[in-house]
Amino acid sequence: MSVADAEPRVTAPSLPRGVPTGDSEPAIGKLAAQVARRIEAEVLRRGWPVGESLGSEPELRVHYGVSRSVLREAVRLVEHHQVARMRRGPNGGLFVTAPDAGPAARAMVIYLEYVGTSVDDLMQARQLLEPLAAGLAARRVSEDGIDLLRRILDAETDEIGDRSAEVLHVVLGELSANAVLRLFIDVLIRLTSRYAQPSREVPRSEYRKARAEAKRRHAQIGAAVIAGDGGRAEEQLADYLDGVRVWMQAHRRAFAPADEAPDGPSIDQDPRAKLAEIVAGRLREDIVAAGWPVGSVVGSEADLLARYGISRAVLREAVRLLEYHSVARMRRGPGGGLVVSTPDPQASVATMALYLEYMKVTADDLVTVRDAIELGIVTRVTARHDEPGVAERLDRAVRWMSDGPPDDAGRADHFHAELAELAGNPVLALFLRILTDLWRRHAVEQAAADSSTAAEVEHVHRRITDAVLAGDEGLARHRLRRHLAALTEWWH
């Protein structure tokens, strides 16, 4: 089936500034990003029909009115978002695919390492989201889910290096039947896996004792879920995570050691991954292992070709992916090579938002998770309300609705993003970006259509700010919760 003639109604997520373009063709990169957004919106409009063809390369070039080079660059972006893949040869074309959030999740974990996520940051996010998942799982668990829980609990051991204990937390995310919780908990467990390795000074007997205690506590949590006691499951999991936080702070190794490769999957291991994606993953991990030395040269093109044993075409596609995530950029000329950049998570944010579209998340799913995250954020900011600069930053954020650029589709989100930045938790800030990215594409049409909406939203943001700056946590949470509940009216 060829591309539909109608323009897509769904607004695709905005791509990051500096989308990879190639050194001599900036216009191609900009146009390709626009075409990629239109292709992705077309997939969403059709209901994400996996296996369906969007058209052959000639058909797509005609439909979008672009050159072969622009279309192929757009297809690379679409493939990286795992929305569709180009199949060459007879009966070929761009076919819709079922996405896998794994590669983007790994990129997010590495970004969070880079910005210096602390144990407190990680565990605050886990304590906000995982008990919520356990409560939902208890209310929704089926007999198949009960069988799965029992198998997971029976498989746990106290062996050093065994990760069976982490599986329960991922499974609770699955049993919550909330795709957002499942996705975010997966990222949190990946991050914990990389950071929670104990110091070599911890005696093996002490480590086994801690694992045995974890196994006992997990059995209690599982029993509460199986019994359908959501309140008890939430309480027990929150208490368990508090113990994990204390243990990690006392026994963990330093974060992201430069001289030691992290345990666990280190590259994108999706069997569908193209060679260029695998090479990009290896290059990214090499940069992490080197301590992410921004501005340094990883190697010349010739060096990298020899190091990874790949063709020039594969390397250049891998570099495009690294550039898209602002991991590294290829600098031409004398002294050039692949130069390490300051990473930008927006590419992963867009990929995650698209994945959640594919999972057909509902407004209720998003509100459930956004409530937990933003209420945790406002509690943290209220505790810091009298610190220098907080009042000024919040005032500017409130006035952004009227003072910000009129064509800024994210004006209403600016206040929430600023609260997240002031809270100082990069995990929560990143998760909120994913939620607002997805929310904006569903709500922007209604919000933009009514000119009175901006004044109304600014008024609500001001009232939340007044409560925060007064140090009144309860009132701030109450006003924020009511504001988030009202946002569901804009969902479509």
Same domain, 170 and 295: no
Do 383 and 485 sit in the same domain of this protein? Answer: yes
Give residue-wise pLDDT tens across range 398-415: 999 888 887 777 788 999
- Do 200 and 286 lie in a common domain? no
Residue 257 lies in a domain: no
**341 with 301, same domain?**
yes
Q: Domain boundary at 251, 282, 303, which? A: 251
Which pLDDT value is given to residue 85?
A: 93
Q: Rounded CA gap, 224 and 44, in Å? A: 39
pLDDT at res. 454: 80
Do 483 and 377 reside in the same domain of the chain? yes
pLDDT at 161: 60
Domain that holds residue 381: 362-490
CATH number at residue 427: 1.20.120.530
Q: What pLDDT, on a 0 to 100 scale, did the predictor assign at position 28?
A: 60
Instruction: Please check whether residues 74 and 32 belong to one and the same domain.
Output: yes
Looking at the 3D structure of the chain, how many domains does it have? 4
Count Cβ atoms below 10 Å from residue 189 Cβ, excluding itself: 23
Residue 77, C-beta contacts closer than 8 angstroms, at least 6 positions apart? 15, 19, 32, 33, 36, 324
Quote the CA–CA distance of 130 and 427 in Å, as a whole number: 14
Does 261 reside within a domain? no
Q: Return the structure tokens found at 488.
A: 């569901």
- 377-387 confidence digits (pLDDT tens): 999 999 999 99
pLDDT of residue 197: 63
Tell which residue, 286, 436, 289, 346, has the closest CA to residue 80.
Answer: 346
The pTM assigned to this predicted structure is 0.83
> Of 358, 381, 410, at which residue does a domain stop?
358
Among 223, 251, 279, which residue terminates a domain? 251
Task: Please list the ranges in the chain whose pLDDT falls under 50.
Answer: 1-26, 254-272, 445-449
What is residue 289's predicted lDDT score, i.e. its pLDDT? 86
